[in-house]
């Protein structure tokens, strides 16, 4: 089942590349914009899994994004978009994930 | 900035969210499009800010996720008005202020002209006033295309006019025909009477540049006041060098001559020296169109006092002068002592007067060659008297004498008479 899912994802990826379409729309990839190490903007995610002042874990369609740092604050949070401020030390991406 | 202002106007709350599933609550808020900002972790809880409108919708979500919500701070205009609801005067003042602003914005408070060089603002303001356009008129009564049309019709030199209302300012942009200045001069040359240039005073001609007309004197000639220097009558000669007609024009020339100017200045040797006392009197003045009101302790009329008025004439915009003014009236008291100028002092004063007179002459473009001014001291007065030798322009306009020549029939066939014969 997982393999079949991966194959569909690969096909979508190739189609998006061939048609020059944005992958965040076709595959649902997350967009992470980071300005220096103090500010970052995350789009196209499903929700927050964990929030502390040292770590923010976000659930995306294809996995999870883990942001580690200190004094992490969420400047705003609306559907599928948030801006994080504070000292960002590490961003970790992991495939698969849990349901929220 | 705008977002902050809008948030303030709508009102917002800072809340503390506590519980095991705060993240789930945040996700549900986002899912239901309830925006939250400034999220910060505080111990086990999360502090966040929400608008009042969204805050009213979170109760079911909080119950679902079993979290506790506590309001930490209430901000914004709705809370401000609620807190100060008993201060009626403040709100009346606020409403009055807004009302006055609204009423004032219905009127034109300034008329601004730009691009006019030949017509003054006052000239055009008078014209517009006759047409019913002035400051303090209602904005909705301003007909911009009509004003532009009337300005163009009234003033020939205006080739383009744009009238617009910006806020409470009536903005009039103009473009004048610059070529017409030269054209008018040539037109004047044809229609205006011919003129001679005569000497305005006695002197010896030193420099002469004739642009139009027939010169009657040369450099080095001595001229008397009223002598014709350049005539506007030009002779038309035939092949035999005989005058058959005259052409007339306005003579134009720069003629400089060495002349003499008399100088006399008299100063009395006795004067009153004023010693100002420390005593002063101040009064506030409010002056209307006809009446004047003073506020303060009036002083007794004393002959030895000087009164100074420091007034502010209030003007709104460029052209609207308020009919009232206010200021301070200052009365200074002094004592007089009769004194006499020493010979050195009076010489210095007369020298200063002479220098000032010379400076004025130089500013007018008159060149000073020398002087024979001497100071004479008498018992009661001192006089500076003498002549100043200058080099100045001595031209003065005078009407040209029109001479008529009776032409023979044979001459008429020549047809050279294209002049402006009288």
* Residues B317-354: tens digit of each pLDDT: 777 777 888 899 998 888 888 888 988 999 999 999 99
8 Å CB contact of A51 and B29? no
Residues of A in Cβ contact (< 8 Å) with B38: 73-76
| Binary contact (B37, A80; C-beta < 8 A) | no
Which residues is B18 bridged to in the sheet?
B68
Q: Euclidean distance between the first and final Cα of chain B, in Å?
A: 80
Structure tokens at A25: 């729309």
- Secondary structure of residue B366 in the 3-state scheme: coil
CB atoms B22 and A51 under 8 Å: yes
Strand, coil or helix: A34: strand
Query: Nearest residue of A to residue B32 by CA position?
Result: A79
CA–CA separation, B226 vs B291, rounded Å? 54
Q: Tell me if ipTM is over 0.85.
A: no
The CB-side HSE value for A82 (13 A sphere, CA atoms) comes to: 31
- pLDDT tens string for chain B (422 positions)? 788 889 899 999 999 999 888 999 999 999 998 989 999 998 889 999 999 999 999 999 999 999 999 999 999 999 998 898 899 899 899 999 999 999 999 999 889 999 988 888 888 999 999 989 988 899 999 999 999 999 998 888 888 999 999 988 999 999 988 765 444 444 444 456 888 999 998 999 999 999 988 999 999 999 999 999 999 888 888 888 888 888 888 899 999 999 999 999 999 989 888 888 888 889 998 888 788 888 888 777 677 888 898 888 777 777 777 788 889 999 888 888 888 898 899 999 999 999 999 999 999 889 999 999 999 988 888 999 999 999 999 988 888 888 877 665 544 444 444 444 43
Residue numbers in A near B61 (CB within 8 A) = none
User: What residues of chain B lie within 8 A of the CB of A52, using their CB?
Assistant: 41
Using the beta-carbon criterion (under 8 Å), do B38 and A48 form an inter-chain contact? no
Select the residue from A76, A81, A99 to test the B interface by mutation, using most B Cβ atoms within 10 A.
Answer: A76
| A50 contact B CB<8A | yes
Q: Model-level pTM greater than 0.80? A: no
């Amino acid at each position: 089942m997982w393999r079949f899912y991966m194959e569909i994802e690969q096909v979508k990826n190739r189609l998006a590349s061939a048609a020059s379409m944005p992958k965040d729309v076709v595959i649902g990839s997350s967009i992470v914009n980071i300005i220096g190490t103090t500010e970052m903007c995350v789009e196209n995610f499903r929700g927050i899994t964990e929030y502390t002042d040292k770590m923010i874990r976000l659930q995306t369609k294809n996995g999870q994004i883990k942001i580690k740092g200190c004094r992490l604050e969420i400047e705003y949070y609306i559907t599928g978009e948030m801006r994080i401020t504070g000292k960002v030390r590490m961003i970790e991406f992991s495939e698969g994930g849990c349901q929220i | 900035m705008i977002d902050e202002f809008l948030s303030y106007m709508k009102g917002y709350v800072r809340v503390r969210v506590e519980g095991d599933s705060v993240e789930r609550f945040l996700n549900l808020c986002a899912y239901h499009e309830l925006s939250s900002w400034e999220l910060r972790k505080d111990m086990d809880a999360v502090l966040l800010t929400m608008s009042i409108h969204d805050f009213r919708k979170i109760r079911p979500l909080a119950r679902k996720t079993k979290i506790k919500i506590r309001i930490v701070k209430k901000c914004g205009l709705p809370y401000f008005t609620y807190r100060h609801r008993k201060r009626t005067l403040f709100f009346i003042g606020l409403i009055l202020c807004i009302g006055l602003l609204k009423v004032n914005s219905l009127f034109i408070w300034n008329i601004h002209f730009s691009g006019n060089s030949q017509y003054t603002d006052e000239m055009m303001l008078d014209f517009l006033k006759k047409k019913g356009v002035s400051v303090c008129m209602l904005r909705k009564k301003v007909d911009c295309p009509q004003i532009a049309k009337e300005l163009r019709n009234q003033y020939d030199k205006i080739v383009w006019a744009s009238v617009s209302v910006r806020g409470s300012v009536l903005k009039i942009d103009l473009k004048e025909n610059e070529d017409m200045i030269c054209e008018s001069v040539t037109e004047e040359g044809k229609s205006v009477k011919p003129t001679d240039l005569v000497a305005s005073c006695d002197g010896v001609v030193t420099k002469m540049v004739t642009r139009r007309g027939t010169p009657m004197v040369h450099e080095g000639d001595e001229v008397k006041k009223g002598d014709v220097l350049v005539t506007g009558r030009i002779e038309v000669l035939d092949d035999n060098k005989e005058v058959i007609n005259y052409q007339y024009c306005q003579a134009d020339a720069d003629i400089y001559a060495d002349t003499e100017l008399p100088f006399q200045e008299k100063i009395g040797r006795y004067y009153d020296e004023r010693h100002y006392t420390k005593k002063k009197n101040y009064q506030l003045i409010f002056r209307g169109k006809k009446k004047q009101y003073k506020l303060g302790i009036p002083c007794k009329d004393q002959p030895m006092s000087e009164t100074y008025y420091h007034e502010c004439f209030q003007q709104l915009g460029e052209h609207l002068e308020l009919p009232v003014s206010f200021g301070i009236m200052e009365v200074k008291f002094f004592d007089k002592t009769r004194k006499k100028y020493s010979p050195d002092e009076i010489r210095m004063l007369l020298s200063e007067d002479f220098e000032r007179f010379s400076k004025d002459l130089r500013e007018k473009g008159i060149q000073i060659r020398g002087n024979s001014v001497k100071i004479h001291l008498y018992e009661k007065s001192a006089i500076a008297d003498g002549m100043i030798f200058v080099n100045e322009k001595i031209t003065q306009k005078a009407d040209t004498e029109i001479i008529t020549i009776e032409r023979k029939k044979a001459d008429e066939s020549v047809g050279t008479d294209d002049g402006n014969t009288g």
